[in-house]
Amino acid sequence: MGHEIVTRGHCLSDARSKVVIIGAGFGGLEAAKSLRRARVDITVIDRQNHHCFQPLLYQVATAALSPADVAWPIRHILRKQQNATVLMAEVRAVDTGKRLVQIDSARIPYDYLVLATGATHSYFGHDEWAEVAPGLKRIEDATRIRRRILIAFERAELAADAAERRRLLTFAIVGGGATGVEMAGAISEVARQSLAMDFRRIDPTTARIVLIEAGPRIMPALPENLSEYVRRTLAKKGVEVMTSTRVVSCDAHGVALAHGRLDADTIIWAAGVVASPAARWLDAEHDRAGRVKVGADLSVPGYPDIFVIGDTAVVTDQPGIPGTAPPAKQMGHYVGRLIAARVAGRRSPPPFLYRHMGDLATIGRHDAVVKLGRLELTGFLGWLFWSLVHIYFLIGVRDRFMVAFTWLWDYVTFQRGARLITEVPPAERN
């Protein structure tokens, strides 16, 4: 089990409650911030040293932004919050009887525990596909996908055989949700605009980009007219959209479909998610996606001091809450307020109520769809709105400026500044 670590903020007394927050994503960070004035000692534990702004990861994966534009050290974000301590460690287990969190080498005691460990890709029982069909979740995933896309063009330039060249210039994206659509649109722009003039033996604009969706339409969370708009816009960008098409397996040379096969060098997985193993740590009831079933105050039934939020939770009486950033932030804020009220001896806030802000997705350069209540925006107006929202939510002032400047520059010049191929592992070398 290792030794016990008791972390304490600056100039704080022993009598204060210990709040442990696992995960510094959207939910966990918001919980920590909303406890900034509470008389508690907070320990934020994350296996990464940075908070990642996942909505812009696809721009790193397609060389529009650099990793440092979309991720920030957690320590830096919480540097001014004196009651918060940050630990970089992987949580392995929770002992709910002794109230201890087990990290690699030590145990952390808690009075209140907030689990905000997010979700990861689901390969529907075929984890062996992960190697050939990476998903997009972390910075490492984005740089790996970027490397594969760029290397595919380089290898195609070298290929002597026409069929092999064709396979190298085919990109299969599995899953027609927001991430799949964003990736397909962005890869098409890499091929048709950014790289168009850079090669001599191949014509990058002939690259085949195929978006494969098992359901009858892409972007099923949007109303039918907007989902059709997205399909048409992708088609104009040269993306082939295959709906009602199930992928039955992935290998190093392409994907096998329920009816036929698609040879492709680059496969990107954007088809399913599964929650972190928090339910297993707590031995708690969960849904099919592994999300812990929580009550109206986001606590785990039977454990009034343990809360699960964000992508790891399903609120039993509000089952339709999407796995996106706004609900994770709202849940984090709510739990912070609730704990602050309890330690101060005040009345707890009313049950958590999710407020849906709307749906947005970009389809590439100057095109996006936005649905906010009855308001629907598409095209350039939609993209402008999407850009403003994403820049607004970026954490540091410098990053807001850098991202805005990089986008503006790319927009004017069609360039993608982050096109470096680095750290190629032996398995991906020629």
87 binds ligand FAD (CB under 6 A): no
Q: Of 18 and 291, which CB lies nearer to ligand FAD in the complex structure?
A: 291
311 binds ligand FAD (CB under 6 A): yes
Per-residue interface string for the shown chain with ligand FAD, residues 99-138, x marking contact by CB under 6 A: -----------------xxx-----------------xx-
367 binds ligand FAD (CB under 6 A): no
CB of 149 to ligand FAD, least distance (A): 15
CB of 376 to ligand FAD, least distance (A): 17
Q: Which one of residues 19, 20, 21, 24 is an interface residue with ligand FAD (CB under 6 A)?
A: 24
Q: Of 94 and 202, which CB lies nearer to ligand FAD in the complex structure?
A: 94
The DSSP call for residue 313 is E
The verdict on whether 182 is a catalytic residue reads yes
Residue 354, judged by CB atoms within 10 A of its CB (0-12, 13-18, 19+), counts as middle
73 binds ligand FAD (CB under 6 A): no
The catalytically annotated residue of 30, 182, 189, 213 is: 182
Query: What does the block give as tokens for 63?
Result: 């060389």
324 binds ligand FAD (CB under 6 A): yes
CB of 44 to ligand FAD, least distance (A): 9
Could you give the angle at the alpha carbon of 141 between the alpha carbons of 229 and 284, nearest 5°?
90
Q: Among candidates 120, 141, 121, which has minimal Cα distance to 23?
A: 120
Please state whether beta strands 208-212 and 170-174 pair in parallel, antiparallel, or not at all (unpaired): parallel
28 binds ligand FAD (CB under 6 A): yes
Q: Tell me, by CB under 6 A, how many residues bind ligand FAD.
A: 33
Q: CB under 8 Å to 303, separation ≥6 — which residues?
A: 96, 282, 284
Query: What does the block give as tokens for 330?
Result: 């709202």
399 binds ligand FAD (CB under 6 A): no
Q: Which whole-number Å values give the CA distances from 4 to 62, 160, 163, in the listed order?
A: 43, 61, 60
φ, ψ of residue 168 in degrees (nearest 5): -65, -30
* Cα torsion 309, 142, 398, 49: sign: positive
Q: Which one of residues 21, 38, 57, 314 is an interface residue with ligand FAD (CB under 6 A)?
A: 57
185 binds ligand FAD (CB under 6 A): no
CB of 56 to ligand FAD, least distance (A): 8
For residue 361, give the 3-state DSSP assignment: strand
Q: Among candidates 148, 176, 158, which has minimal Cα distance to 264?
A: 148
CB of 430 to ligand FAD, least distance (A): 29
Alpha helices in 102-177 (DSSP H): 139-158, 162-168
Q: Which amino acid, 67?
A: P
175 binds ligand FAD (CB under 6 A): no
Look up tokens 């002992």; give the residue: 95
295 binds ligand FAD (CB under 6 A): no
Question: Could you list the active site residues?
Answer: 182
Interface ranges with ligand FAD (CB under 6 A): 22-28, 45-48, 54-55, 57-58, 90-91, 116-118, 136-137, 178-179, 276, 310-312, 323-326, 328
